């Protein structure tokens, strides 16, 4: 009888505690919802990201590392951070490669009847040039490195290799397809050179058929000759592949005058709001300021930079005081070297900074769908418990892994990482192509990304990880 009474008493205590805990959680979530609604209203009513992006794209334009335009963008974004209310704004030096495209590339394929098919092409980033005389040779197609190996040096020597690695259309997550096919662009030149090729043409990493060549970084293996590398449009790749299947003799020719100059100094642009309770704990949010030189770099990654500046501006404008220090970083040189991310990590290590969380936006300013996470399972669970707070703003997916190439190195010092996940179905229509312009960005989509980023940054600032 006595034991039953004790058990009943414990059950009542547990019930009361459970009810109180549920009420506390509900109250906390209600308060969090109110704060996030305040953030949302500020971004959607008074957001500056779109107009800041217009300035970067139209007044400055392409921002290739080492260029005059890149330095102008450094100065412009520093001012944007100051105007947005950052407590501190400073430049963080970093060494970056200085590659120049040179004169506009040209190329064609000459078929058996001496007709010339003009190619839509562009040099790959960091590629050596052909010189003004160009190169001309027969073409060998390969759809994988394994196939290239099977063809062998006896056939490839003295030829131009055509690497035709289409992005897999069956992947709904287009970044997965990009990751698989990207090896052709990154390592294709040295792989082809190892079999004696004199040049390489790479199928553009694009989701759809079009006439716009997509550039992007490539790297050389110093064990082999540094042969020139260009990308051709997906339409041209399809045409060329069909011609080669007909077994008719053809010759490809192209000219590019690109070259690599000596490394030069540039800067990450950093703006901070100092934390009110735990200022030593740092939360980083950022995108990369540099872009390729074919267009304005609006989606890649002007959008991510302007969203990151908007996070700081919004919290200041809404009168929200973060408990932890929030730092917006415009990383330099993501596209062809990673100099900015290396400098940021090195500085964090030297200063023994407590970098508790870092969020990157480098998937374009499209409609946000979720956040990719790269952190311990315990911290991941904390973030996922906040997921219902994001449902009203269109974000629901917290299950993909990953973060971004600029914040990624911070994993070395134990930082929890995340990346804004957007609807990427249109991203590889414009990625690294001349179509990446301001007009391709929707203000509404850009702002939705910024408000969800600001909400997540605020939650981490409020509760830690």
Q: Kindly name the residue from 334, 335, 353, 445 that is annotated as catalytic.
A: 334
The DSSP call for residue 127 is P
Contact by Cβ (8 Å): 452, 310: no
The DSSP call for residue 124 is P
Contact by Cβ (8 Å): 159, 205: no
The DSSP call for residue 73 is H
Q: Please tell me the distance from the alpha carbon of residue 451 to that of residue 195, in angstroms, as a whole number.
A: 51
Beta bridge pairs of residue 203: 232
Q: What is the dihedral of CA 280, 286, 290, 292, to 10 degrees?
A: 150
Active site residue 334: yes
Q: Please tell me the distance from the alpha carbon of residue 411 to that of residue 415, in angstroms, as a whole number.
A: 5
Q: Please tell me the distance from the alpha carbon of residue 207 to that of residue 425, in angstroms, as a whole number.
A: 8
Name the residue among 325, 274, 273 with its Cα closest to residue 464: 325
Q: What angle do CA 289, 293, 296 make, to 5 degrees?
A: 60
With a CB cutoff of 8 Å and minimum separation 6, the contacts of 2 are none
Q: What is the CA radius of gyration of the chain?
A: 25
Q: Within a 13 Å sphere around the CA of 88, how many CA atoms are in the beta-carbon half?
A: 11
Number of residues that this document lists for the chain: 465
- Cβ count within 10 A of residue 97: 22
> What is the set of active-site residues?
334
């Amino acid at each position: 009888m006595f034991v039953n009474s004790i058990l009943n008493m414990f059950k009542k205590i547990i019930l009361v505690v459970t009810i109180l805990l549920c009420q506390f959680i509900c109250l906390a979530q209600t308060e969090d919802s109110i704060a996030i609604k305040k953030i949302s209203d500020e971004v959607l009513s008074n957001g500056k990201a779109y107009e800041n992006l217009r300035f970067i794209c139209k007044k400055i334009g392409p921002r290739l590392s080492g260029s005059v335009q890149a330095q102008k963008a450094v100065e412009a974004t520093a001012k944007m951070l100051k105007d947005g209310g950052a407590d501190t704004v400073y430049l963080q030096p970093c060494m970056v490669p200085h590659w120049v495209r040179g004169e506009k590339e040209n190329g064609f394929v000459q078929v058996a009847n001496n007709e010339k098919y003009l190619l839509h092409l562009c040099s790959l980033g960091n590629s050596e040039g052909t010189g003004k005389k160009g190169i001309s040779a027969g073409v060998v197609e390969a759809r994988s490195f394994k196939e290239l190996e099977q063809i062998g040096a006896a056939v490839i020597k003295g030829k131009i290799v055509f690497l035709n690695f289409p992005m897999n259309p069956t992947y709904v997550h287009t970044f997965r397809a990009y990751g698989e096919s990207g090896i052709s662009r990154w390592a294709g030149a040295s792989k082809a050179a190892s079999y004696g090729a004199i040049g390489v043409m790479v199928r553009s990493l694009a989701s759809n058929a079009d006439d716009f060549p997509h550039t992007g970084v490539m790297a050389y293996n110093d064990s082999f000759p540094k042969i020139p590398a260009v990308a051709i449009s997906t339409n041209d790749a399809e045409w060329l592949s069909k011609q080669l299947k007909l077994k008719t003799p053809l010759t490809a020719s192209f000219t590019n005058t690109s070259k690599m100059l000596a490394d030069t100094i540039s800067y990450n642009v950093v703006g901070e709001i100092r934390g009110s309770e735990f200022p030593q704990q740092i939360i980083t949010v950022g995108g990369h300021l540099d872009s390729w030189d074919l267009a304005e770099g609006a989606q890649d990654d002007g959008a991510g930079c302007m969203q990151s500046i908007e996070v700081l501006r919004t919290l200041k404008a809404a009168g929200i005081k973060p408990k932890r220090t929030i730092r917006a970083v415009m990383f330099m040189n993501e596209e062809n070297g990673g100099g900015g991310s290396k400098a940021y990590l090195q500085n964090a290590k030297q200063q023994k900074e407590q970098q508790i969380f870092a969020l990157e936006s480098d998937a374009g300013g499209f409609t946000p769908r979720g956040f990719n996470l790269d952190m311990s399972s315990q911290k991941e669970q904390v973030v996922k418990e906040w997921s219902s707070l994001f449902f009203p703003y269109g974000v629901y997916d917290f299950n993909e892994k990953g973060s971004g190439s600029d914040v990624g190195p911070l994993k070395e010092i134990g930082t929890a990482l995340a990346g804004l996940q957007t609807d990427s179905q249109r991203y590889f229509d414009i990625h690294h192509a001349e179509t990446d312009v301001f007009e391709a960005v929707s203000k509404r989509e850009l702002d939705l990304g910024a408000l969800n980023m600001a909400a997540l940054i605020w939650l981490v600032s409020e509760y830690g990880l």
